[in-house]
Amino acid sequence: MHDTVMMMDDAVARLPLFTGLVVLWAGCAIGNGFIAHRLRHSVVLWVILSLIPIVNYFFYIFVIYATVLGILKRLNVLTERLTATAAQTT
């Protein structure tokens, strides 16, 4: 009986930590959904992958690289437009 009570006390003590992690994961999932929309990827898939424990840590690394590549792609498009505009004006 004493062991069961000790296990319950341990579980209750860890509840705030678990709740904090769930709130953090939910916030990151929502943010990743916005990023997926801007990068024209599947929003639902990105949110689901952001919520799966352990998978989400590796997925966050992917999100960082995908965001950087998306920014570089947009910068390249802007550079091409500016170069084409400069070539037409001269």
Q: Does the pTM of the predicted model rise above 0.85?
A: no
- With a CB cutoff of 8 Å and minimum separation 6, the contacts of 37 are 43
* Tens-digit pLDDT string for the chain (90 aa): 566 666 677 777 788 888 888 899 999 999 999 999 999 999 999 999 999 989 999 999 999 999 999 999 999 999 999 998 888 886
Q: What pLDDT was estimated at residue 58?
A: 95
DSSP summary character for residue 54:
T
Q: What pLDDT was estimated at residue 2?
A: 66
CA nearest to 62, candidates 14, 86, 28, 88 = 28
- Run of H or E residues at 4: helix 2-38
Tokens of 49: 């992958």
Query: Taking the CB of residue 60, how many other CB atoms lie within 10 A of it?
Result: 13
Q: Are 59 and 50 in contact (CB under 8 A)?
A: yes
Q: What pLDDT was estimated at residue 9?
A: 72
Q: How far apart are CA 74 and CA 5, in angstroms?
A: 58
Q: What pLDDT was estimated at residue 12?
A: 73
